[in-house]
Amino acid sequence: MQADGMRWFGFILLCWMVAAARVATADPFPLTDGTTIYGEPVSLTELGVQFKLDDGSVPARISWDKLTPTALRELQAFAKSPNDKELLEPLVDNLPEAQVKRKELVVTPITPPARPTRNLGIFALFGSPVGWVILLILYGANLFAAYEVALYRFQRPATVCGLAAIPLFGVLSPIIYMAMPPNLKSPEAAAPPTAPSGGEPAPLSAAPLAMPGASADSAPAAAPQPALPEPIVFSRGEYLFNRRFFETRFAGFFRVIPTDAEKDLVLLIKASRGEFVGRRITHATPSDLTLQVFNKGATADEVIPFVEILEVQIRHKDSV
Protein backbone atom coordinates (compact mmCIF):
# COMPACT_ATOMS: atom_id res chain seq x y z
CA MET A 1 0.00 0.00 0.00
CA GLN A 2 2.82 2.28 0.87
CA ALA A 3 4.61 1.38 -2.38
CA ASP A 4 1.55 2.30 -4.47
CA GLY A 5 1.40 5.69 -2.80
CA MET A 6 5.00 6.37 -3.60
CA ARG A 7 4.41 5.53 -7.26
CA TRP A 8 1.46 7.91 -7.51
CA PHE A 9 3.50 10.67 -5.88
CA GLY A 10 6.38 10.12 -8.33
CA PHE A 11 4.00 10.18 -11.30
CA ILE A 12 2.41 13.45 -10.19
CA LEU A 13 5.84 14.99 -9.57
CA LEU A 14 6.96 13.94 -13.03
CA CYS A 15 3.90 15.50 -14.69
CA TRP A 16 4.42 18.69 -12.75
CA MET A 17 8.07 18.87 -13.82
CA VAL A 18 7.15 18.30 -17.49
CA ALA A 19 4.57 21.07 -17.33
CA ALA A 20 7.05 23.39 -15.64
CA ALA A 21 9.68 22.57 -18.26
CA ARG A 22 7.25 23.37 -21.03
CA VAL A 23 6.40 26.71 -19.44
CA ALA A 24 10.09 27.46 -19.00
CA THR A 25 10.93 26.59 -22.60
CA ALA A 26 7.93 28.35 -24.16
CA ASP A 27 8.93 31.48 -26.03
CA PRO A 28 7.15 34.74 -25.25
CA PHE A 29 5.45 36.66 -28.05
CA PRO A 30 4.57 40.20 -26.88
CA LEU A 31 1.48 41.85 -28.40
CA THR A 32 0.76 45.53 -29.04
CA ASP A 33 -1.96 45.58 -26.34
CA GLY A 34 0.66 44.84 -23.66
CA THR A 35 -0.10 41.10 -23.20
CA THR A 36 2.27 38.24 -23.95
CA ILE A 37 1.51 34.82 -25.46
CA TYR A 38 3.61 31.82 -24.36
CA GLY A 39 3.34 29.07 -26.89
CA GLU A 40 4.42 27.74 -30.25
CA PRO A 41 3.28 29.04 -33.66
CA VAL A 42 1.49 26.31 -35.58
CA SER A 43 -0.09 28.15 -38.51
CA LEU A 44 1.00 31.24 -40.45
CA THR A 45 -1.28 32.71 -43.14
CA GLU A 46 -1.96 36.11 -44.63
CA LEU A 47 -4.63 36.63 -41.97
CA GLY A 48 -2.26 36.19 -39.06
CA VAL A 49 -0.67 33.53 -36.87
CA GLN A 50 -2.17 30.84 -34.66
CA PHE A 51 -0.40 29.66 -31.51
CA LYS A 52 -0.60 26.45 -29.52
CA LEU A 53 -0.46 27.35 -25.86
CA ASP A 54 1.34 25.44 -23.14
CA ASP A 55 -1.86 23.77 -21.97
CA GLY A 56 -2.45 22.37 -25.45
CA SER A 57 -5.24 24.78 -26.40
CA VAL A 58 -5.26 26.65 -29.68
CA PRO A 59 -6.85 30.13 -29.38
CA ALA A 60 -8.15 32.25 -32.22
CA ARG A 61 -5.79 33.47 -34.92
CA ILE A 62 -3.97 36.74 -34.10
CA SER A 63 -3.70 39.29 -36.91
CA TRP A 64 -0.31 40.63 -37.94
CA ASP A 65 -1.00 44.19 -36.80
CA LYS A 66 -1.25 43.02 -33.17
CA LEU A 67 2.25 41.56 -33.12
CA THR A 68 5.13 43.73 -31.98
CA PRO A 69 8.45 43.90 -33.89
CA THR A 70 9.98 41.61 -31.24
CA ALA A 71 7.24 39.00 -31.83
CA LEU A 72 7.78 39.18 -35.61
CA ARG A 73 11.48 38.54 -35.20
CA GLU A 74 10.74 35.57 -32.90
CA LEU A 75 8.36 34.17 -35.53
CA GLN A 76 11.06 34.48 -38.19
CA ALA A 77 13.31 32.28 -36.06
CA PHE A 78 10.52 29.67 -35.80
CA ALA A 79 9.74 29.70 -39.54
CA LYS A 80 10.68 26.34 -41.08
CA SER A 81 8.90 26.09 -44.40
CA PRO A 82 9.68 28.29 -47.42
CA ASN A 83 6.11 29.63 -47.43
CA ASP A 84 6.40 30.84 -43.83
CA LYS A 85 9.74 32.50 -44.54
CA GLU A 86 8.39 34.18 -47.67
CA LEU A 87 5.39 35.41 -45.70
CA LEU A 88 7.49 36.88 -42.85
CA GLU A 89 10.29 38.36 -44.97
CA PRO A 90 8.53 41.61 -46.09
CA LEU A 91 7.16 42.13 -42.58
CA VAL A 92 10.56 41.84 -40.91
CA ASP A 93 12.48 43.81 -43.55
CA ASN A 94 10.23 46.86 -43.10
CA LEU A 95 10.71 46.95 -39.36
CA PRO A 96 12.47 50.08 -38.04
CA GLU A 97 16.00 49.52 -36.92
CA ALA A 98 16.63 49.87 -33.27
CA GLN A 99 18.34 53.17 -32.63
CA VAL A 100 21.67 52.90 -30.97
CA LYS A 101 21.82 55.00 -27.89
CA ARG A 102 24.40 57.63 -28.40
CA LYS A 103 26.96 58.32 -25.80
CA GLU A 104 26.14 61.46 -23.99
CA LEU A 105 28.73 64.17 -24.48
CA VAL A 106 29.76 65.98 -21.39
CA VAL A 107 30.48 69.62 -22.21
CA THR A 108 32.81 71.22 -19.76
CA PRO A 109 32.19 74.94 -19.48
CA ILE A 110 35.15 77.11 -20.37
CA THR A 111 35.96 79.99 -18.12
CA PRO A 112 36.99 82.97 -20.29
CA PRO A 113 40.03 84.93 -19.17
CA ALA A 114 39.48 88.16 -17.38
CA ARG A 115 39.44 91.17 -19.68
CA PRO A 116 41.69 94.11 -18.85
CA THR A 117 39.92 97.05 -17.29
CA ARG A 118 42.68 99.67 -17.45
CA ASN A 119 45.28 100.99 -19.92
CA LEU A 120 42.85 100.70 -22.81
CA GLY A 121 42.99 102.58 -26.13
CA ILE A 122 45.87 103.51 -28.43
CA PHE A 123 48.21 104.14 -25.49
CA ALA A 124 47.96 100.47 -24.52
CA LEU A 125 50.51 99.76 -27.29
CA PHE A 126 53.20 101.31 -25.11
CA GLY A 127 52.47 98.91 -22.28
CA SER A 128 53.63 95.66 -23.93
CA PRO A 129 56.69 94.51 -25.92
CA VAL A 130 54.46 93.48 -28.83
CA GLY A 131 53.11 97.01 -29.05
CA TRP A 132 56.62 98.47 -29.21
CA VAL A 133 57.57 96.04 -31.99
CA ILE A 134 54.50 97.06 -34.01
CA LEU A 135 55.31 100.75 -33.55
CA LEU A 136 58.93 100.24 -34.63
CA ILE A 137 57.82 98.36 -37.75
CA LEU A 138 55.40 101.16 -38.68
CA TYR A 139 58.10 103.77 -38.00
CA GLY A 140 60.59 101.99 -40.27
CA ALA A 141 57.96 101.53 -43.00
CA ASN A 142 57.25 105.28 -42.91
CA LEU A 143 60.97 106.08 -43.32
CA PHE A 144 61.26 103.64 -46.21
CA ALA A 145 58.21 105.19 -47.89
CA ALA A 146 59.75 108.65 -47.48
CA TYR A 147 62.99 107.43 -49.08
CA GLU A 148 61.16 105.95 -52.07
CA VAL A 149 59.10 109.13 -52.52
CA ALA A 150 62.29 111.21 -52.46
CA LEU A 151 63.82 109.10 -55.23
CA TYR A 152 60.60 109.13 -57.25
CA ARG A 153 60.18 112.93 -57.05
CA PHE A 154 63.92 113.72 -57.34
CA GLN A 155 64.02 115.32 -53.91
CA ARG A 156 66.80 115.16 -51.37
CA PRO A 157 66.36 111.93 -49.37
CA ALA A 158 67.92 113.50 -46.27
CA THR A 159 65.28 116.24 -46.20
CA VAL A 160 62.29 113.98 -46.85
CA CYS A 161 63.45 111.24 -44.46
CA GLY A 162 64.39 113.80 -41.81
CA LEU A 163 60.87 115.22 -41.80
CA ALA A 164 59.44 111.70 -41.78
CA ALA A 165 61.48 110.89 -38.67
CA ILE A 166 59.46 113.37 -36.60
CA PRO A 167 57.13 111.29 -34.37
CA LEU A 168 53.38 111.46 -34.97
CA PHE A 169 53.68 114.13 -37.70
CA GLY A 170 56.27 112.38 -39.90
CA VAL A 171 53.63 110.43 -41.80
CA LEU A 172 52.67 113.65 -43.60
CA SER A 173 56.13 114.06 -45.15
CA PRO A 174 55.80 111.30 -47.81
CA ILE A 175 52.25 112.46 -48.62
CA ILE A 176 53.24 116.10 -49.11
CA TYR A 177 56.31 115.35 -51.25
CA MET A 178 54.32 112.82 -53.29
CA ALA A 179 51.85 115.55 -54.17
CA MET A 180 54.62 117.96 -55.20
CA PRO A 181 55.98 118.03 -58.80
CA PRO A 182 59.38 116.39 -59.33
CA ASN A 183 62.45 118.57 -58.80
CA LEU A 184 64.25 118.15 -62.13
CA LYS A 185 66.54 121.21 -61.78
CA SER A 186 69.83 120.84 -60.00
CA PRO A 187 71.01 123.54 -57.55
CA GLU A 188 73.86 124.56 -59.89
CA ALA A 189 71.46 125.20 -62.78
CA ALA A 190 69.16 127.28 -60.59
CA ALA A 191 71.99 129.64 -59.53
CA PRO A 192 72.20 132.94 -61.57
CA PRO A 193 75.23 133.46 -63.86
CA THR A 194 78.07 135.52 -62.34
CA ALA A 195 80.07 138.24 -64.05
CA PRO A 196 83.84 137.81 -64.67
CA SER A 197 85.89 138.73 -61.61
CA GLY A 198 88.47 141.51 -61.51
CA GLY A 199 86.65 143.73 -64.03
CA GLU A 200 88.23 141.88 -66.94
CA PRO A 201 86.55 142.46 -70.28
CA ALA A 202 84.50 139.72 -71.78
CA PRO A 203 86.20 137.50 -74.34
CA LEU A 204 86.14 138.70 -77.91
CA SER A 205 84.25 135.66 -78.99
CA ALA A 206 81.39 136.65 -76.71
CA ALA A 207 80.95 140.13 -78.32
CA PRO A 208 79.01 140.40 -81.59
CA LEU A 209 81.10 141.16 -84.68
CA ALA A 210 80.25 144.43 -86.49
CA MET A 211 79.87 144.27 -90.24
CA PRO A 212 82.07 146.63 -92.28
CA GLY A 213 80.34 149.93 -92.96
CA ALA A 214 77.73 149.44 -90.30
CA SER A 215 77.53 151.69 -87.28
CA ALA A 216 77.61 150.46 -83.74
CA ASP A 217 74.09 151.73 -83.14
CA SER A 218 72.67 149.70 -86.00
CA ALA A 219 74.30 146.42 -84.89
CA PRO A 220 71.62 144.05 -83.50
CA ALA A 221 72.10 143.11 -79.88
CA ALA A 222 72.45 139.38 -79.23
CA ALA A 223 69.52 138.02 -77.19
CA PRO A 224 70.66 136.36 -73.96
CA GLN A 225 70.26 132.63 -74.04
CA PRO A 226 68.33 131.12 -71.08
CA ALA A 227 70.33 128.85 -68.84
CA LEU A 228 69.48 125.20 -69.48
CA PRO A 229 69.28 122.78 -66.55
CA GLU A 230 72.13 120.38 -66.07
CA PRO A 231 71.35 116.81 -67.12
CA ILE A 232 70.52 114.26 -64.45
CA VAL A 233 72.71 111.21 -64.98
CA PHE A 234 72.13 107.61 -63.86
CA SER A 235 75.11 105.32 -64.49
CA ARG A 236 75.38 101.55 -64.42
CA GLY A 237 77.07 100.42 -61.23
CA GLU A 238 75.37 103.13 -59.20
CA TYR A 239 71.88 102.05 -60.21
CA LEU A 240 70.29 98.77 -61.21
CA PHE A 241 68.53 99.17 -64.54
CA ASN A 242 65.35 97.09 -64.53
CA ARG A 243 61.64 97.54 -65.05
CA ARG A 244 60.99 98.84 -61.54
CA PHE A 245 63.78 101.44 -61.88
CA PHE A 246 62.21 103.01 -64.97
CA GLU A 247 58.62 102.78 -63.71
CA THR A 248 59.44 104.55 -60.45
CA ARG A 249 61.98 107.17 -61.57
CA PHE A 250 60.61 107.93 -65.05
CA ALA A 251 56.86 107.55 -64.48
CA GLY A 252 56.20 110.85 -66.28
CA PHE A 253 57.80 109.53 -69.47
CA PHE A 254 55.25 106.73 -69.69
CA ARG A 255 52.41 109.22 -70.26
CA VAL A 256 50.97 109.77 -73.73
CA ILE A 257 50.62 113.47 -72.96
CA PRO A 258 53.54 114.69 -70.81
CA THR A 259 52.95 116.93 -67.84
CA ASP A 260 54.35 120.45 -67.51
CA ALA A 261 57.33 119.04 -65.64
CA GLU A 262 58.37 116.68 -68.48
CA LYS A 263 57.15 118.48 -71.63
CA ASP A 264 60.56 120.07 -72.33
CA LEU A 265 62.63 117.05 -71.27
CA VAL A 266 63.93 114.05 -73.17
CA LEU A 267 65.57 110.77 -72.25
CA LEU A 268 69.06 110.02 -73.56
CA ILE A 269 69.96 106.34 -73.17
CA LYS A 270 73.55 105.27 -73.84
CA ALA A 271 73.66 101.60 -74.73
CA SER A 272 76.34 99.26 -75.98
CA ARG A 273 75.06 99.66 -79.55
CA GLY A 274 74.60 103.44 -79.57
CA GLU A 275 72.74 106.41 -78.10
CA PHE A 276 68.98 106.81 -78.24
CA VAL A 277 67.00 110.00 -77.58
CA GLY A 278 63.27 109.92 -76.98
CA ARG A 279 60.43 111.58 -75.15
CA ARG A 280 58.30 108.62 -74.17
CA ILE A 281 58.68 105.02 -72.97
CA THR A 282 55.88 103.16 -74.69
CA HIS A 283 56.37 99.77 -73.06
CA ALA A 284 58.48 98.00 -70.43
CA THR A 285 58.95 94.29 -69.80
CA PRO A 286 61.06 92.43 -67.22
CA SER A 287 63.92 92.27 -69.76
CA ASP A 288 63.72 95.43 -71.93
CA LEU A 289 61.94 98.70 -72.64
CA THR A 290 60.61 100.32 -75.79
CA LEU A 291 61.65 103.95 -76.32
CA GLN A 292 59.96 106.23 -78.84
CA VAL A 293 63.02 107.79 -80.56
CA PHE A 294 63.46 110.54 -83.15
CA ASN A 295 64.54 109.39 -86.57
CA LYS A 296 64.82 111.97 -89.39
CA GLY A 297 61.88 114.06 -88.29
CA ALA A 298 59.73 111.04 -87.46
CA THR A 299 59.34 108.78 -84.46
CA ALA A 300 60.09 105.08 -84.22
CA ASP A 301 59.97 102.48 -81.45
CA GLU A 302 63.36 101.15 -80.37
CA VAL A 303 63.59 98.08 -78.13
CA ILE A 304 66.53 98.41 -75.71
CA PRO A 305 67.43 95.47 -73.42
CA PHE A 306 68.30 96.42 -69.86
CA VAL A 307 71.61 94.53 -70.04
CA GLU A 308 72.81 96.85 -72.84
CA ILE A 309 72.06 100.14 -71.02
CA LEU A 310 75.19 101.89 -69.75
CA GLU A 311 73.79 105.28 -68.78
CA VAL A 312 70.47 107.13 -68.66
CA GLN A 313 70.21 110.94 -68.74
CA ILE A 314 67.31 113.37 -68.33
CA ARG A 315 68.15 116.39 -70.48
CA HIS A 316 66.46 119.49 -71.81
CA LYS A 317 65.34 119.07 -75.39
CA ASP A 318 67.48 122.03 -76.51
CA SER A 319 70.65 120.54 -75.02
CA VAL A 320 70.59 117.41 -77.20
Residue 155: its pLDDT value, please?
85
Q: Are 85 and 93 in contact (CB under 8 A)?
A: no
The model carries a pTM of: 0.35
Say if residue 115's pLDDT is above 80.
no
CATH topology of domain 230-320: SH3 type barrels. (2.30.30)
CATH dotted code for 23-93: 2.30.30.100
pLDDT at 287 over 60: yes
Per-residue pLDDT band for 306 (boundaries 50, 70, 90) equals: very high
pLDDT higher than threshold 80 for residue 6: no
Name the residue with higher pLDDT: 30 or 99. 30
The pLDDT assigned to 200 comes to 42
Give the pLDDT score at 8. Answer: 67
**What is the mean predicted confidence (pLDDT) over 109-118?**
79
Q: What is the pLDDT of residues 171-228, one digit of tens each?
A: 888 888 888 887 765 443 334 444 444 444 444 333 444 444 444 444 455 556 667 7
Q: What is the pLDDT of residue 303?
A: 93
